[in-house]
Amino acid sequence: MEPHPAAVDRRTFIKRTSAAGAGLWVTGPFAGVRGYRGSPNEKVVVAAMGVNSRGDAVARIFAAAANAEVGHVCDVDARATAKTSAGVAAVQGRPPKTATDIRRVLDDPAVDAVYIAAPDHWHAPAAILSLAAGKHVYVEKPCGHNAREGELLVAAQQKHRRVVQVGTQQRSARESIEVVRAIRGGLIGRPYYAHAWYANARASIGRGKAAPVPAWLDYDLWQGPAPRTPFKDNVVHYNWHWFHHWGTGEICNNGTHELDFARWALGVDYPTQVTSTGGRYHFKDDWEFPDTQEANFTFPGDRSIVWQGRSCNGFPVEGRGRGVTVHGTEGTVLVDRDGYTLYDLQGRKVRASLRGGAENPLDTVGSDKLTEYHVANFVDAVRTGAPPAAPAVEGHKSTLLGHLGNIAQRVGRTLRTDPATGRIQGDEQAAGHWGREYARGWEPKA
């Protein structure tokens, strides 16, 4: 068995897996991408935006990565900025500059790339602003707050010809690349069905009350592209995920990872039909998305994906809080962030390829080896022009599944979608959820 990507030259690993697994990484959109502007021996200077939790962990990973350094730390929370700045300085031996407004950071010609881990409503607008400023982008999933933003991000990447990496880090895992290549080669016969799931035991967010904006928070800038609303005490920092105004629900928050792998493994792009059932069952509070959801996606070629989410009851599936099973005419593979296990049609284990890591797959921060590989892949793509593991076009397709699941849930009926674009057909009400309203002057434009 070949050594793990961490133990081999990054460029060699990319060439080897790209050649051996044609179609695993999409290269078409990257013809003519302008890579790093300086010498390949120079470091990629990264600005980290949104560093309260996940962003703090990944900023430190960038600081430790070969051929990269964190030049700026940007956040609307002064406490987070100070913490991450100190943490990055301890890793790379020099402090980054600090800022509150990402737009000011984009004016710095020394910045080569922007890492975005702000709330979901910031992802695509910040990424598009960064691309227009000539920066490369690593944006956490979901790559847009709504379906239209994903389309705009893809268009902006193609217009400005910069690298965009979406934070679906399982695409950089050797075991994932290996099993998708094997599925392409007939490992389980003809693959036709994938079951993806996520189960956690989240607490209630209660009923929020109007409250003064904390002194450490620039709330106006935190809202950014979103229309203005009064500050409430149960939104900032994490609970914004569960409000339509800023978040995208569990199916986009965590489901994007498993939906991305399921779609990748089956070799499908856009669905023809989407249904969703569920609701906010566990608690009665301000949470606006389902905490219990089953979304079904039908694709051309007799293939389908089912995603099951349980946000407030962590009973595992197949002994795991999250994962994917991919079923074919000759067997099944069970895949999670530790690797994969192959079963025959009788359910007998045939073989396994597992990392045996100690990371908690339900950790909301997610400082793990897969992220280290994904960051290294992004840095290499910026420096050399090699294709990123999770380009914008693929990130949009996977994120769109979550958005379509949410729309089907909101309107309470099956969606018919165009298999060439994923756009909703023949349902004006449902299609009305494709985009959103923005604060004046904040509308993203590719």
Indicate the pLDDT class of residue 357, thresholds 50, 70 and 90. Answer: low
319: number of Cβ within 10 Å: 8
What strand order describes the sheet that includes 339-343?
A: 349-354, 339-343, 331-336, 322-328, 191-199, 303-310, 292-299, 273-279, 415-417, 424-425
Residues 415 and 427: their CA atoms lie apart, in Å, by 8
Q: Residue with structure tokens 């935006």?
A: 49
* Average of per-residue pLDDT across 108-132: 98
- Domain map (residue ranges) of the chain: 5-171+373-393, 175-206+233-361+395-431
* Nearest partner of 183 among 308, 334, 5, judged by Cα: 334
pLDDT over 80 at 1, yes or no:
no
Say what the pLDDT of residue 364 is.
Answer: 62
Q: Residue with structure tokens 């979406």?
A: 166
Q: Do domains 5-171+373-393 and 175-206+233-361+395-431 have the same CATH topology?
A: no
pLDDT over 80 at 228, yes or no:
yes
100, amino acid identity:
T
Question: Can you say whether the dihedral through the CA atoms of 137, 390, 249, 79 is positive or negative?
Answer: negative
| 236-270 per-position pLDDT tens digit | 999 999 999 999 999 999 999 999 999 999 999 99
Q: Please give the helix or strand (H or E) that residue 5 lies within, else none.
A: none
CB 274, CB 433: distance < 8 Å: no
Indicate the pLDDT class of residue 234, thresholds 50, 70 and 90. Answer: very high
Indicate the pLDDT class of residue 365, thresholds 50, 70 and 90. Answer: low
| 153-199 per-position pLDDT tens digit | 999 999 999 999 999 999 999 999 999 999 999 999 999 999 999 99
* Nearest partner of 32 among 138, 165, 161, judged by Cα: 161
CATH code: domain 175-206+233-361+395-431 is: 3.30.360.10
Pick the CATH number of 5-171+373-393 from 3.40.1410.10, 3.40.50.720, 2.40.360.20, 3.20.20.150: 3.40.50.720
Q: Find the helix packing angle between 369-384 and 10-20, rounded to 10°.
A: 90
Strand ranges inside 50-174, DSSP E: 68-74, 97-99, 113-116, 136-139, 164-166
Question: Can you say whether the dihedral through the CA atoms of 218, 237, 152, 157 is positive or negative?
Answer: positive
Say what the pLDDT of residue 361 is.
Answer: 65
Q: Residue with structure tokens 């965590």?
A: 254
pLDDT over 70 at 27, yes or no:
no
Q: Residue with structure tokens 């070799």?
A: 267
Residues 408 and 344: their CA atoms lie apart, in Å, by 35
